[in-house]
Every structure is written in C-alpha cells, then in structure tokens.
Amino acid sequence: MTKRERVLSAARRGPVDRPPVSFWRHVPDVDHTAAGLADAMLAFQRKWDLDFVKVMSSGVYCVEDWGCRVAYQGSPNGAKQCTEHAVRSRADWARISPLDEGAGALGRELEAVRLIARGRADDAPILHTLFSPLTVARKLAGDRLVEDLRAEPAAVEPALDAITDTMARHARAALEAGADGFFFATQTAAPDVVTVEEAARFELPRMRRILDAIAGRSALTLLHVHGRDVYFDQAAALPVHAMNWHDRLATPTLGDGHRRFAGAVAAEVRDAIAQTGGRGVIIGPGCVLPLATPDAHLAAVVAAVKAAA
C-alpha cells in the first residue's frame, strides 16, 4: 500500500498491510520562518519515512496576528509561549476581530505548507495544525479566559466567533496550499479548564463550524484532545476521521476509546496493536515528542510497527 492508502484505510477501519505510524516534535529554532519550518519537516520525514507529515507549527502561531508576543523559553517539548497576551482586560476581547487568513503569521504557515507539498517525495498526507477557537482564546488571554467567560460571556463570545471565522477560512486556505488534512487540537475540553457544560456551549459548536467548513475536502482530520480525563464522548461526536489523546495519562484507555469512537485512533505503540487488533489504529504519540527523545526510541517504534506487517 502507499502511505496515503494505508492512512486513509486505517481511518476507515479498513484493511492495512500494517498500522500507519507517525510522530512529531517542535522545531523552535527554525519555526519562525516558512522555509525553516518546511526544511525541518522535510528533513524529519526523510529521516524517519513516516506515513503522514504533521506540520509542527509553533503552538502560538495562531495568536501572533492578534498581538500576542511569543518566544521559546526552554520548554522540554519545544513549545513556544505567549510572553505577552493580547487580551489583558475584559474590554480587550472587543479588539479580537476577523483576520486575513493568508497574511502575517497565518500566511507564513500557509507558505510552509506549500513548500512541504512541493518538496514531498511520496504521497504521505500533510496535516496542517489547527487549534480550536476556545484554545486560541486561551492562548490570547491565559487564565483570565475562563474568568471572563463565567463573569460576562457576552464580552467573549463575539471574539470566539471572530476566531472561528478566521480559523475556518485559514483551514480552507491550507487545503488550497497543499495540505491533505489537519491535526485539529483542543486544549480546553477537559475539567481542569472548563466544565462539560461550558465546553458544550463555548467550544464544541464552534469546532463543528470549522469542521463543516472543510467537510468533504479534508482527507484526514485527526482530532487531538489534550489533557487528563478529557470529554472524550463529546469530542468523538464531532465529524472527524480519527482521534488522538494522552491514553497513557488520561481516560479513556486506548482499547476503551477504540470501542467508543467510530473512526480510527492514534496512540503510543507497544500494546496499541494488541488492544485494537491492529485495525483502525494509527501509531503515534499522545501529544508532541519531547525534544530530548532519543533517536533509538523512535527507531524502535518504527521497527515495532513494521514488524507487525
């Protein structure tokens, strides 16, 4: 099977010659330019020969154009942080209006996708990284997001709608730039951030609006639900092809999630194939790899998957 055939068949729980495998890590030294990010992604793909390419954009690219200042401050996983939030008072939410989806930092990421698509040597699907609207809002405001939502939701919801509109248009532009699909991440669908009722009101409907905007056009939308004890069943009801979560740190377990979600799942190797019978599973990390992950560990993952052929 080709890589694309293998990944898409796994997402349908169809037959595969072996489970697909991919993993990803940040590149904070070079992800501030389109060429730097693209070259790093292509080099990583050439080295590991993975079944899909998850574009490792900076985790805060989505808020730079709204005024967040960002920097890498030494996180072990390579993630950059907002060093100065764009929303510092409740009144600041009124300044969050729709953006040009192809300009500024958003345009930089589209150019990186174009370069990766141009330099790709095989048919491994390219997944552009998108963040859910509430996740973007949390990056814009930090901890005050939830405080403002609970105290005065009417002040925040127009900003959430502006974010949703911008991200939906940016997603369509990414497909036009050469992306095959998306790694669509929510970092706010867990009880340590919002209640399940708040997620149902503020997060999930807006995620669905973005998914509706790419329906029928994204070959593979992989939903990443970040955190512990995530709202798995609510997220699984969204129209995505596959789900990824920290199955070693959070509930549900991989085997349980495999039964509760109708698409494919993505999780760490080892007993993943045993838990799922090797069908409807994509082998990958529960989130981003730490920068210090030894190459020997990654080679072992690839070897274990290929041995299952």
Given a contact cutoff of 8 angstroms between Cβ atoms, the answer to whether 184 and 235 are in contact is no
- Tokens 């790694």 found at: 183
For 153-202, what is each residue's pLDDT tens digit?
999 999 999 999 999 999 999 999 999 999 999 999 999 999 999 999 99
How many other C-beta atoms are found inside a 10 Å radius of the C-beta of residue 199? 24
> What mean pLDDT, rounded, does the chain reach?
92
Q: Is the pLDDT of residue 309 over 80?
A: no
Between residues 27 and 306, the one the model is more confident about: 27
**Across the chain, where does the E strand assignment appear?**
53-54, 69-71, 81-84, 126-131, 181-186, 220-225, 242-245, 264-267, 281-283
Q: Is the pLDDT of residue 85 over 60?
A: yes
Between residues 264 and 28, the one the model is more confident about: 28
Q: Supply the pLDDT for residue 257.
A: 63
Q: Is the pLDDT of residue 267 over 50?
A: no
Between residues 14 and 254, the one the model is more confident about: 14
Q: Supply the pLDDT for residue 105.
A: 98
CATH code matching the domain that covers 3-307, chosen among 3.40.50.2300, 3.40.50.300, 3.20.20.210, 3.20.20.70: 3.20.20.210
| Confidence grade of residue 266 (pLDDT, cut at 50, 70, 90) | very low
Q: Is the pLDDT of residue 247 over 70?
A: no
How many other C-beta atoms are found inside a 10 Å radius of the C-beta of residue 230? 26
Q: Supply the pLDDT for residue 224.
A: 94
Q: Supply the pLDDT for residue 307.
A: 82
Q: Which of 42-46, 72-76, 258-262, 278-282 has the lowest mean pLDDT?
A: 258-262
Q: Is the pLDDT of residue 279 over 80?
A: no
Q: Is the pLDDT of residue 303 over 90?
A: no
Q: Is the pLDDT of residue 255 over 80?
A: no
Q: Is the pLDDT of residue 248 over 60?
A: no
Main-chain phi, psi angles of 108, to 5 degrees = -60, -45
Q: Supply the pLDDT for residue 258.
A: 62
Q: Taking the C-alpha atoms of 165, 166, 168 and 173 in order, what is their torsion angle to the nearest 10 degrees? A: 140
For 54-73, what is each residue's pLDDT tens digit?
999 999 999 999 999 999 99
Q: Supply the pLDDT for residue 8.
A: 97
Percent of the residues in the chain that have a pLDDT greater than 90, as a whole number = 78
Mean pLDDT of 8-29: 94
Domain ranges of the chain: 3-307
Between residues 91 and 261, the one the model is more confident about: 91
